[in-house]
Structure 1
């Protein structure tokens, strides 16, 4: 019996490491999407190259996380600094992939959340650096979330989509009435609808509330640090993504805690 338990533990560690490596590889591709999509470049051609000197990168230059550390954050050919965003995205994706496996195992739910997390990383970093959300990413992702809902709780999935669509439509409409500039945009609406498709109604509400809490805290800190007062523009999609990830891993606990308050 002890040998079986030990074997199970070894397999769990093996798969956790395997998902970490897989996440790092996927994260490397997500970096390509994050960089090229806003520039309307092909995700396939040309092959990966240094954006400064244009030299094509070799296989050794493209090993996720490791290459950045080995090269000390510089291009092998021209010595230009490599933005730290690359290892950050790779490491973040790797960690979240591994944690997803550890929580949900080798299940369809894991696949659903791995896709969801990958999309969240892409839209978050693009919104953070470029201030734009691409419907070509979130709308197909929302459809994928709906398809997964067919194999799970379709009613909850549809309610999640409707909830986010209605609530963000109202928020955007009101923000346009009270703010000439800024406020929420259509990108937040489509991203929210995609989140509703993947999380459903129950966890969608958790993520919705958390996104505003996280956004408010981060917004106050950013304004205090930047000393720009209320004029600081803050993209909201990254907060929605952080809240969604928290809902994935802790949604049941948060929901239970909320119910126990009453």
Structure 2
């Protein structure tokens, strides 16, 4: 199977996993099972049939509406599916030529978890323990066959401790979910990539906050979820940490 064909296959697989992520994103904050019952319209609760649940395709065929009640379907659903597909396909293109299967699986799991965190924290201002705890465990376990178990543990402890210190000094300015998410990111990325991710997150968070205040969408007293910034920083670091470090170290 050549790279083009396999990449298309991985993209399709990514959209399928993205469809499941949509279930996680909707149900996990509501403390609902992500397994049962099957997918339903959130408006009329009609079960969604298999032919109406094809990632990306069904949304286009139905023109973004429920077949039964004609309620609008959020654009979040196809965007999450597309993001998952693009991320997995991009990772496949990077790892497939060298047959680095364990790093591919680790980075794919990490990327999908970050997509879920981005959406959930944006909507509900929470980072579920179910994601951070399981992600931390998976990140540490998958670091073992890659020969970086110790760096993974140290990076997780370092990132978590750094955010805990910020939370203490700011008297609650940093949420507990963000602390656990930082530790999870350390487990997957290790040093120095996790430092790049966190620096990017602070930059994006500060910039986004200033923009929202400039548009009068938020004030200084309003809480702004930091999970989305961490998620974006993590994804960027996943693909570009080495390049960004080289650019920074070689900058005049």
TM-score of the pair, normalised by structure 1: 0.91
Tell me which residue corresponds to 2:185.
Answer: 195
Q: 1:257 aligns with which of 233, 237, 247?
A: 247
Tell me which residue corresponds to 2:166.
Answer: 171
Q: How does 1:136-147 map to 2 (within 5 A)?
A: 136-147=130-141
Q: Is the 8 A contact 1:206 1:251 kept in 2?
A: yes
Deviations 1:144-184 (A, max 9, x none): 101111122122212211211211010000111xxxxx621
What secondary structure does 2:192 align onto? helix
Tell me which residue corresponds to 2:227.
Answer: 237
Give the direction of change, closer, same or farther, for the CA distance of 1:41–1:229 in structure 2 (3 Å limit): closer
Runs of 5+ unmatched residues, structure 2:
none
1:67, CA displacement in angstroms? 0.6
Take 1:195 and 1:93, find their aligned partners in 2: how far apart are those partners?
18
What secondary structure does 1:157 align onto? helix
Tell me which residue corresponds to 2:65.
Answer: 74
Runs of 5+ unmatched residues, structure 1:
1-9, 177-181
1:227, CA displacement in angstroms? 4.8
Give the direction of change, closer, same or farther, for the CA distance of 1:227–1:142 in structure 2 (3 Å limit): closer
Tell me which residue corresponds to 2:26.
Answer: 35
Deviations 1:15-45 (A, max 9, x none): 1111110010000000000101111111111
Task: Specify which structure has the higher proportion of helix.
Answer: 1
Take 1:227 and 1:132, find their aligned partners in 2: how far apart are those partners?
20
Tell me which residue corresponds to 2:77.
Answer: 86
Give the direction of change, closer, same or farther, for the CA distance of 1:124–1:228 in structure 2 (3 Å limit): closer
1:248 correspondence with 2:238: yes
Take 1:211 and 1:42, find their aligned partners in 2: how far apart are those partners?
31
TM-score of the pair, normalised by structure 2: 0.94
Tell me which residue corresponds to 2:39.
Answer: 48
1:228, CA displacement in angstroms? 3.7
1:195, CA displacement in angstroms? 0.2
Take 2:45 and 2:142, find their aligned partners in 1: how far apart are those partners?
41
Take 1:60 and 1:246, find their aligned partners in 2: how far apart are those partners?
34
Larger Rg: 1
1:70, CA displacement in angstroms? 0.8
Q: Is the 8 A contact 2:102 2:145 kept in 1?
A: no
> How many positions carry a matched residue from both structures?
248
Moved beyond 6 Å, runs of 4+: none
Q: Is the 8 A contact 1:211 1:243 kept in 2?
A: yes
1:232, CA displacement in angstroms? 3.5
